Amino acid sequence: MRERQDHPQGNRHQVPGGLQEEVAGDARCGCGIDYPAADITNCRRQVRAPISGVIFDVRRVDTWDKKVDDPGTRGGLTITLHGDDFVRYYFSHLGRLMVKKGQRVESGQKIGTVGDSGNAKVTLCHLHFGISRICPMSEQNLLRGEIWPQRYLDAWKKGVNLSPNREVQRKIKREPAACLEAAAAQRRGGDG
């Protein structure tokens, strides 16, 4: 098994959406995303931490309303994981949450189930999975996904331990103010 050295030693990446063989093709459900992320169907399957780290945030109440369609609530029940590889992993549209804010989790640990919370009530039951830099403030735009995760999902499915850290670091070099810009856009009422 090949291994990349841009991750902490002994920290194995796992496919987050449950059974590895079920992350197929480009892992999209056609749920209308227009930014770098993956929507993985597998309704009610276990969601696992792709890497060890700390649960940074958990949204336990689904406040999304179709009539209002606030971008900040579209994800429904969500989990944000700050990985030991210094990458942020975001999971939304969950059905059940199995972790708490501040909790340490290990790679492969069950953290929730694929569900239909948020705007997944009007699309397909799925897991929205985003990978991004860790920002010092809360913002929505980068959180949803900043780099395309398919390459990593494919590698993890094959048992290759490939961290998105290098790609995230390149993105930070190219766009150093992205966290601030996303937070400012969100404060102005945009989809930041």
Q: Mean pLDDT check: name the lowest of 21-25, 65-69, 83-87.
A: 21-25
Q: Is residue 11 part of a domain?
A: no
The rounded distance, in Å, linking the Cα atoms of 94 and 51 is 18
The rounded distance, in Å, linking the Cα atoms of 21 and 4 is 22
Q: Tell me the residue range of the domain where 130 lies.
A: 20-187
Tell me: pLDDT of 57 over 80: yes
How many structural domains compose the chain?
1
Residue 19: per-residue pLDDT: 37
CATH number of residue 96's parent domain: 2.70.70.10
Which tens digit of pLDDT belongs to each residue from 93-140? Answer: 999 999 999 999 999 999 999 999 999 999 889 999 999 999 987 777
Residue 20: per-residue pLDDT: 40
Tell me: pLDDT of 25 over 70: no
Centroid of chain to Cα 135? 14
Q: Mean pLDDT check: name the lowest of 8-17, 59-68, 174-183.
A: 8-17
Helix segments in 20-146, DSSP class H: 141-144
Residue 72: per-residue pLDDT: 84
Q: In sequence order, which residues have a C-beta less than 8 Å from that of residue 99 and are 6 or more positions away?
A: 55, 58, 79, 105, 111, 112
175, 182 in Cβ contact below 8 A?
no
Q: Is residue 9 part of a domain?
A: no
DSSP notation for 121-133: GSS-SBEEEEEEP
Average pLDDT, the chain: 84
Q: In this structure, which amino acid lies at residue 192?
A: G
Tally of CA atoms within 13 A in the half-sphere of 32 that contains its CB: 6
Q: Is residue 7 part of a domain?
A: no
Q: Is residue 126 part of a domain?
A: yes
Which tens digit of pLDDT belongs to each residue from 152-192? Answer: 999 988 888 899 999 999 999 999 999 999 888 878 765 54
126, 41 in Cβ contact below 8 A?
yes
pLDDT-derived band at 17, boundaries 50, 70, 90: low
Residue 11: per-residue pLDDT: 52
Centroid of chain to Cα 70? 19
Q: Is residue 5 part of a domain?
A: no
- Look at phi and psi of residue 153 and say left if phi exceeds 0, alpha if psi is from -120 to 50, else beta: alpha
Residue 192: per-residue pLDDT: 43
Q: Who has greater pLDDT, 18 or 128?
A: 128
Strand pairing report for 94-97 and 127-132: unpaired
Residue 187: per-residue pLDDT: 80
Tell me: pLDDT of 30 over 80: no
Which one, of 192, 111, 84, 184, lies nearest residue 146 by Cα? Answer: 192
